[in-house]
Amino acid sequence: MGAFRNSSGGTLDRTQRIRFRFDGKQYSGFQGDTLASALLANGVRVVGRSFKYHRPRGVFGMGVEEPSAMVRLRTGARAEPNVRVTEVELFDGLEAHSQHCWPSVNFDLGAIANVMSPLLPAGFYYKTFMWPATKWMFYEHFIRKAAGLGSSATEPDPDNYSRSYEFCDVLIVGAGPAGLSAALSAASSGAKVMLVDETPDGGGRLRFDDEVINDGPADKWLNETLRELSKMPNFEFRFRTTAFGYYDQNMVVALERVSDHLPEPEPGQVRQRVLQIRAKQVVLASGSIERSIPFGYNDKPGVMLASAVRGYALKYAVACGRRAVVFTNNDSAYATVTALHSVGAQVVAVVDSRTQSPGKRALEQLGDAKLIQGSVVIKTKGLRSVQAVEIGQIADEGDSPKKSHTIRCDLVCVSGGWTPTIHLFSHAQGKLNFDDSISAFVPGADIPALHVVGSANGEFSLAACLRQGSDAGIESAKQAGYETTASVSIPTAPEESVGDMEPLWSVPRTGSRVKRFVDIQNDVTIDDIELAHTEGFVSVEHLKRYTTLGMGTDQGRTSNINGLANLARLRKAEVPEVGHTTFRPPYTPVSLGALAGVDFSEHLSPVRRTPLHQWHERNHAHLQNSGVWKRPAYYPRTGESVQDAILRETRHVREKVGITDVSSLGKIDVQGRDAAEFLERIYINRWKSLQIGRCRYGLMLREDGFVFDDGTSTRLSENEFYMTTTTANAGPVLEHMEIYAQTVWPELHVHLTSISDQWAGMALAGPFSRNVLNTVIGEQAASNENLPYMGVINARIADVPVLVFRVSFSGELGYEIHIPSRQAELVWETILAAGQEWEIAPYGLEAMTILRIEKGHVVAAELDGRTTAADLGFGRMMKPDGDYVGKRLAERSALTANGRKQLVGIKSIDSSPIPRGAQIIAEPSGGKPAQTFGQVTSACFSPHLNQEIGLALIKDGRLIYGKTMYAASPLTGREVPVEIVHHIFVDAEGERVRG
């Protein structure tokens, strides 16, 4: 095996060797490795190059905190950029590539930026490339090539993603000692408990720290606890699951990486799943993250977090170096000495910035390693990785440390203290306090139903973490309504005496060119912060944006606090005075695929199909989208052009008989003893006077006086009306009426039910339409006496009960037949069969549109929310007495004054088509700006008139019939002379529809 791996130890399955490739070279690891541990075991130190200076970078951390070791994982369509190697579980055949380096990670031309770095201070891009603004696009091209993270796949993502909605009494975030202790207590109450953890197996620090719980080894307790919990039916684990956002009322959103640990998802398996977890109580046991110390060239491969070095040694049996120096300001890093010894590495010295002595346990862990107190690592030496460190004694406040000696080493294990992971608490708008004893922000005032425990709460002793977790488990279960009956035994750990940590926010400057890195992902140095401060950036939010501190994919988990504290030092202020930047979701990057879930492509929005949809498809209708509906546009015959088909269908209705599907119309059943009164107030016209078995055209306004919708409504009985709405407004009209029925006039007894889906509709139109109807419902029933214009009857067609309305949208004799949806196709086919003698033919939306323009019927194009009833020629429908929605504001002067745009018809004078949306101008403009008098709302070729016609809204249009104006379309450069005419081109007297 690799030269840096011990032959025993760790929690690997050494029987399963796994092969993988990094930058094309073959390596191997074991089952249980991460890509990071496997690379380190193989002695791979340089994993990538930094963002700005292209300096070599290696593995720095061990998990989510990793700032620099990112790769492009997988290849082809599954390639994913910016993946932290510390979070990638090794699988057979894994392929990874280093990022932002060319031609190779060890020889990178971009590294010229490092030599040039004095020219690249903070804000360099802002200052240099801002002006002239037109050149920015040019600069940007090269900047993006030189700086920037990895590139994503360009092929469509082959994987599936899903979303699930979860509910529980207690949600615990983090399965470290505090979280597990909370889980044991909460679950013992019977409460439904869910525990999420971002790692594959939980355990937190117990996986790599040598600790004692309940007088035995901590890993024994860990395994027992996991086993015990897994047996409880009210408990659920979600591993490989990151809670990335906390939203109102305890909704936690998490990303479950279902199959990222496999080469590719199993058949039928999703890659990732977004969980929306609604929890009565949330316990936040999200732990803490070790922070770095900025010292000279602390970004080199070989400088690592002390906890990570410990973890690689104990969990993966990997020595991250052969000769190590530990650099710390607190006791926790001393455990790294024993961990390194266990994998055969040598620890040359522990450099402790404190003058006071560490605690008893730390001194035991030190063993025979040399302790250098009151000192710091000034800088590392070495070209591509650490080869030595310079040590110096801490001088007076702010002065440079004095170099004492140089130590040859290949590994620096650094610990600047620990930062509680309180992102989710911040998402919940929780206020943070600064705790001087640990020099970190911790949760402040309590938030209801949210409990923060363990090191996330600033509590670093294992005994206290276990205790806090257990207490929170009991308390959260209780608040969720579950009492813990059996006495819960709280897991115990030995109480340790620990030496106080002393903050060390940076090692003071020793030379003008020595870079001390704060944020090693974004290449932000102490000098950059000093420059930003000099230039007047005193707010942390401004500092962040100007220097890009903490703006990388790691969000500065190991570095933010160092940046803030250095700004505080420069401002001669305390850290809490300077404050902190705001944490916002997501905690870690979430793929767009996971957020989209199944809502893409044809699933992006629902599709509605009419009950006759299958018939349309079988009969080769060309279907078009009409809002969410699929509706037949026309039914082309063999060899027929689109235009020919549409014109044939239109002529067929005028000359013979046609049938079309109008099922998408909104239909509302209005019932109750005040139903007529209610409609009287919803529509502008009268309804109480409508006889049973008759229908009427109705127009409704919004409360601001403009037209909202129109449709035909029928009085089926004294207290029941069958209302129809336009297709697009089916939902909004019902909601509008519910507002008035329930909140404005609750005293009216009226009940509203949508029956749009229950009833299909078809329009039968043309001179022979009554002949067809005769054969299906009988001559007597279909006679003009029994079913006059605007009459409605009950009938049976193919033994199906139907409603037949004598209405027309086309200006021809016509009927609408409404049928229970399930029988729609039977009735439709029965009518088609009966109509064969009369050459009945189906027609689509295109022909219907031409027919309605010829008849001057308004649709959404004219009901555009800016037209009044009077504008559309319906002024006389407005009843003068009584209240109705929109009445009062329809009477305001601006809506009744002369000079408003009115609905008129237009005819093309030179036979050229009238451009839709064209503006109406008085004289040909030659393309120059001209005053507009209105606009074309609808236009078509009318086969009936053999002319190009249209509808338009034109200023005082009804006063200028016969006048010539011009329909100007600057988009197409066309100006068509048009004659202003009445908007009804066909059957203006209504003789056909009444005949």
Partner 1 sequence: MLLIPCPWCGKRAQTEFTYRGDATVERPDLADSDSQWYDYVYTRDNPRGEHTEWWHHTGGCRKWFKVRRNTWTHEVISSEPPVRD
Contact residues toward partner 1 (CB under 8 A) are: 247-249, 251, 276, 278, 429, 703-704, 735, 738-739, 742-744, 746-747, 883, 887-889, 892
State the nearest-atom distance from the C-beta of 675 to partner 1, in Å: 17
- CB 50, CB 61: distance < 8 Å: no
How many residues are listed for the chain in this entry?
995
Tokens coding 671: 């019932």
Nearest CB to partner 1, comparing residues 399 and 883: 883
CB of 247 to partner 1, least distance (A): 6
Q: Which amino acid is at 761?
A: G
Identify the three-state secondary structure at position 467. Answer: helix
Q: How far is the CB of 280 from partner 1 (least distance, A)?
A: 11
If the CB atoms of residues 677 and 704 are measured against partner 1, the closer one turns out to be: 704
**Closest to partner 1 by CB, 749 or 974:** 749
- Cβ distance to partner 1 smaller for residue 748 or 832: 748
Say whether the peptide bond before residue 977 is cis (omega within 30 degrees of 0).
no
| Cα radius of gyration rounded to whole Å, the chain | 38
Cβ neighbours of 339 (radius 10 Å): 26
Q: Using the 8-state DSSP alphabet, how is residue 952 labeled?
A: E
Would you call the peptide bond into 267 cis, given omega within 30 degrees of 0 as the criterion? no
Nearer to partner 1, 801 or 882 (CB): 882
Alpha-carbon distance 303 to 55, whole Å? Answer: 13
Q: Minimum CB separation from partner 1 for residue 248, in Å?
A: 5
Which of these, 68, 55, 46, lies nearest to 117 by C-alpha position? 55
SS3 of residue 245 by DSSP: strand
- 3-class secondary-structure state, position 485: coil
Sequence-distant (6+) residues with CB within 8 A of 878 are: 684, 685, 869, 870, 887, 890
> Least distance from C-beta 419 to partner 1, angstroms?
27
Element (H, E) at 532: helix 526-534
Nearer Cβ to partner 1 (170/253): 253
Min dist CB 601 to partner 1, Å, is 21
Alpha-carbon distance 407 to 376, whole Å?
12
CA 271 to CA 269: how far, in whole Å?
7
Closer residue to partner 1, CB minimum distance, 487 or 743:
743
Whose Cβ is closer to partner 1: residue 487's or residue 893's?
A: 893
CA dihedral 724, 727, 732, 736 (to 10 degrees): -20
- Residue pair 161/603 in contact by the 8 Å Cβ criterion: no
Residues 695 and 713 sit within 8 Å (Cβ to Cβ)? yes
Rounded Cα gap, residues 721 and 676, in angstroms? 8
Q: Which is nearer to partner 1, 200 or 882 (CB)?
A: 882
- How far apart are CB 448 and partner 1 at their closest, in Å? 9
User: Which residue, 706 or 985, is less far from partner 1 as judged by CB?
Assistant: 706
**Separation between Cα atoms, residue 789 and residue 808, nearest integer Å:** 9
For the bound state, the minimum distance from the C-beta of residue 883 to partner 1, rounded and expressed in Å, comes to: 5
Residue 523 zone, left/alpha/beta (φ > 0; ψ -120 to 50; rest): left
**What six digits make up the tokens of 698?**
């109705």
| Nearer Cβ to partner 1 (240/736) | 736
* Closest CB 249 distance from partner 1, rounded Å: 5
**Identity of the amino acid at 772:** V
Q: Whose Cβ is closer to partner 1: residue 306's or residue 885's?
A: 885
In the bound complex, what is the minimum distance in angstroms from residue 447's beta carbon to partner 1?
Answer: 11
State in angstroms the smallest separation of the CB of 726 from partner 1.
Answer: 19
Closest CB to partner 1 among residues 721, 884: 884
For 340, residues 6+ apart whose C-beta sits below 8 A from its C-beta are 309, 310, 313, 319, 324, 346, 347, 413
Instruction: Tell me the Ramachandran region of residue 926: left when phi exceeds 0, alpha when psi lies from -120 to 50, beta otherwise.
Output: left
> Which of 620, 651, 647, 660 is closest to 636 using CA atoms?
620
Residues 6+ apart with CB under 8 A from 735: none
- Tokens representing 869 are 């009833």
Query: Smallest distance, Å, CB 173 to partner 1?
Result: 18
Query: How far apart (Å, rounded) are the C-alpha atoms in residues 807 and 816?
Result: 6
Q: What is the DSSP string of 617-633?
A: HHTT-EEEEETTEEEEE
Q: How far is the CB of 599 from partner 1 (least distance, A)?
A: 13
The candidate with the shortest Cα–Cα distance to 714, out of 816, 800, 814, is 816
CB of 698 to partner 1, least distance (A): 20
Judge contact between 358 and 352, C-beta under 8 A: yes
Nearest approach, Cβ of 254 to partner 1 (angstroms)? 14
CB of 757 to partner 1, least distance (A): 15
- Of the pair 743, 946, the CB lying nearest partner 1 is at 743
- Say if residue 138 is exposed, middle or buried (CB neighbours under 10 Å; 0-12, 13-18, 19+): exposed
Instruction: State which residue, 118 or 880, has the beta carbon closest to partner 1.
Output: 880
Cβ 488 vs Cβ 184: under 8 Å: yes
Minimal distance, residue 405 CB to partner 1, in Å: 58
In the complex with partner 1, the residue whose CB is nearer, 279 or 529, is: 279
Instruction: Dig out the tokens for 126 from the structure.
Output: 């802002």
Residues 612/661, Cβ–Cβ less than 8 Å: yes
Shortest distance (Å) from residue 868 CB to partner 1: 15
Cβ proximity to partner 1: between 619 and 742 the closer is 742
The burial of 625, by beta-carbon neighbours within 10 Å (0-12 exposed, 13-18 middle, 19 or more buried), is given as exposed
Residue 34 or 725 with smaller CB distance to partner 1: 725
| Nearest-angstrom CA–CA distance, 810 and 814 | 8
